[in-house]
């Protein structure tokens, strides 16, 4: 376990997604109705940052070809994507959102 602080809860309202980086790993952090999730930030289809995409109802739509992933599981759910995203464990401690990148 290698927990790293990625954001403050107060800086991430419900429905927001934030691009983070832990060493060389790009991570997208999501606030879904007060629950936080984290996935790899690069689409599995081509090189696009999912944190620039459209986040709604627990799903992120890739800004490049509109592939859709479930941010809770990383599962590729529609569009040209057929490879799931890597996900990371998230926990909240006080006002800090921590992600485990191992």
Q: Given the rule CB under 6 A, which residues bind ligand FES?
A: 43, 45-46, 48, 62, 64-65, 67, 79-81
Shortest distance (Å) from residue 46 CB to ligand FES: 4
Q: Closer to ligand FES by CB, 7 or 67: give it.
A: 67
Tokens 């930030």, located at residue: 41
Give how far Cα 64 sits from Cα of 4, 54, 102, Å: 29, 11, 28
CA–CA separation, 88 vs 28, rounded Å? 10
Q: Closer to ligand FES by CB, 16 or 66: give it.
A: 66
Do 31 and 45 contact (CB within 8 A), yes or no? no
Shortest distance (Å) from residue 41 CB to ligand FES: 11
Q: Closer to ligand FES by CB, 50 or 99: give it.
A: 50
Shortest distance (Å) from residue 30 CB to ligand FES: 16
Do 8 and 53 contact (CB within 8 A), yes or no? no
Shortest distance (Å) from residue 94 CB to ligand FES: 35
Sheet holding 59-61: strands in order across? 54-56, 59-61, 68-70, 76-78
Q: Closer to ligand FES by CB, 46 or 92: give it.
A: 46
């Amino acid at each position: 376990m290698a927990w790293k602080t990625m954001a403050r809860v107060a800086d991430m309202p419900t429905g927001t997604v934030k691009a983070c980086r832990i060493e060389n790993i790009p991570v997208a952090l999501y606030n879904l109705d007060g629950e936080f999730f984290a996935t790899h930030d690069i689409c599995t289809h081509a090189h696009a940052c999912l944190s620039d995409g459209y986040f709604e109802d627990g799903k992120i739509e890739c800004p490049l070809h509109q592939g859709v992933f479930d941010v809770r599981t990383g599962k590729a759910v529609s569009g040209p994507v057929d490879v799931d995203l890597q996900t990371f464990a998230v926990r909240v401690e006080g006002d800090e959102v921590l992600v485990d990148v191992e």
